[in-house]
Amino acid sequence: MAACVPLLLSFALVVVGCGGKEPEPSTPKPEPVTTPSAVPEKAPEKDPAPAAKVGPEGFPLPADAGEPESAGGGGGKILVFKVPRGRDAVVADQKALLAKGGYSIDDENTSPKGALRLTVSKGGKTFKVSILGDATQTGIILTVP
């Protein structure tokens, strides 16, 4: 049996040596490095300019403004345009069209009934514009020089 002890010890050492090795501490794997694409992301588009049509005397109007109707007593110089959109959107579009067309707004006020009144000029011509309406429809009253 004494001869078996060294053999058993050797066998135990082999078993412990083979399976008893402690694992090495794991090192965190580095995150993969990504390089930015050579194609830049598309920049967000700016709000497109509102569509326009040319009114009397070259005055810019929203594209969806209807045909002009002459106001009684205006001698053909006071024209009414109906727009099938809400007042606030039409006001924003009309101001953008005026700025894009190089017009200056010389005066801006609100009538007692809520109509926006503008006095606008360009190239020595002065126009008077009133914009009134609600959330579904708008009227533009234009007085040409």
Instruction: With beta carbons less than 8 A apart as the criterion, state whether 35 and 105 touch.
Output: no
Read off the pTM: 0.66
- Residues 1-43 have pLDDT tens digits of 444 433 333 333 333 444 445 555 566 666 666 555 555 555 4
Range 109-123 average pLDDT: 96
Catalogue all structural domains in the chain, each as residue range(s) with its CATH number: 65-143 (3.30.465)
Q: Which of 16-25, 29-38, 65-74, 75-84 has the weakest average pLDDT?
A: 16-25
Q: How far is the C-alpha of 114 from the C-alpha of 95, rounded, in Å? A: 17
Helix, strand, coil percentages for the chain (3-state, nearest 5):
25, 30, 50
Question: Where is average pLDDT lowest: 5-19, 45-59, 94-108, 131-145?
Answer: 5-19
Write down the mean pLDDT value for the chain.
Answer: 80
Q: What angle do CA 61, 64, 70 make, to 5 degrees?
A: 65
Tokens in use for 108?
A: 């801006």
C-alpha torsion angle, residues 41, 46, 50, 52 (rounded to 10) = -70
